[in-house]
Amino acid sequence: MGVNLRDIVPHEPLEFGDLKGKIIAIDALNSLYQFLSIIRQPDGTPLMDSNGRITSHLSGLLYRTTRLVELGIKPIYVFDGEPPVLKKREIEERKETKKEAEKEWQKALSEGRLEDAKKFAGRTSRFTDEMLEDSKNLLGYMGIPYIQAPSEGEAQCAYMCGKGDAWAVGSQDYDALLFGAPRLVKGLTLSGKFELSIIYLDKVLNELNLNREKLIDIAILVGTDFNEGVKGIGPKKALKAVTENRLEELGIDFNIDAIREVFLKPKITDEYEVNWTEPDRNSLIEFLCKGHDFSENRVEKAINNLKKALKELSQRDLSAWF
């Protein structure tokens, strides 16, 4: 879910042309849950193959990634590892929310309210181990690098961005800023619902007259994946409280130092490689078309587009040496 800092964080508009040749570290599960939520039938049922296995995430991953590469972007997908202990509460709450959404979905279906049904259905998305492995296999066949983070994916994305192995983090959440990402790109969904924009961490801190530790404190007051926040406090009130050093007056009843630690000293790894390779046509056809009933014509077209785009990116990289 992430933390909501929209009201205080300055966004700058961005064009896809500004991202040509740039490496973007993408929070994989953030994207995959979007696919599961959005790519559904009119009644809210996710896309499935003839064996009843959900394929919405594979469809979204194939076509969006191909389009990003066509736009000149070099994506790296980063997958979450073991969640921090403090996130267990949030995970349990999400499970309960999904159960309630499931009931509302079925009720809306029984009453013929298809628009409401699809809305509630999108909130029931669950990601299984099999879906996770399928997503990684698909990326491997596409020649797109992916990395397994030891814990929070956005922490690993931010670390790679700070090292210079990626230019920016791509996510709809703001957590990457709290983990220290120098740049956060929002709107890579290629959907009109989300405007493409960029947030620079140094500009955020300068404009708000904060350091990263205080930005983290603001997020903690609002509420993160690791704590509920303080009732009645949104981003603007939190900014005022932190700026005026009034945290002790707010009656915080949780371990704020432990939450700060999650953002300031996250588990990350240097054991990764970043290489884009030629798509494996035969494996993609076998996996998607024969294994999951994808249209062979559409997959062939995506493979051809991906090959052409990766070749152009490779030539662009080579030309930089001359």
Q: What confidence tens digit (pLDDT) does each residue in 141-156 have? A: 999 999 999 999 999 9
Tell me if 198 is assigned to some domain. yes
**Spatial contact of 118 and 44, defined as CB atoms under 8 Å apart:** yes
pLDDT: which is higher, 253 or 73:
73
Confidence label for 122 from pLDDT (cuts 50, 70 and 90): low
- For range 304-309, the mean pLDDT: 95
- Give the pairing type, strands 74-79 and 146-148: parallel
Percent of the chain with pLDDT over 70: 87
* Residue 140 token pair: 């491997």
How far from 103 is each of 34, 47, 97, 113, 117, CA to CA, in Å? 21, 20, 10, 14, 10
3-state secondary structure of 173: coil
Strand partners, 185: 170, 198
d(CA 234, CA 221) in angstroms, rounded, equals: 8
Is residue 137 over pLDDT 60?
Answer: yes
**Spatial contact of 161 and 139, defined as CB atoms under 8 Å apart:** no
pTM for the model? 0.87
Tell me if 224 is assigned to some domain. no
Which residue range forms the structural domain that includes residue 131?
12-205
Tell me if 316 is assigned to some domain. no
- For range 213-230, the mean pLDDT: 92
CATH number at residue 66: 3.40.50.1010
Tell me if 300 is assigned to some domain. no
Tell me if 131 is assigned to some domain. yes
Q: Is the dihedral of CA 55, 101, 119, 193 positive or negative?
A: negative
Tell me if 286 is assigned to some domain. no
Tell me if 268 is assigned to some domain. no
Confidence label for 89 from pLDDT (cuts 50, 70 and 90): low
**How many domains does the chain fold into?**
1
Tell me if 4 is assigned to some domain. no
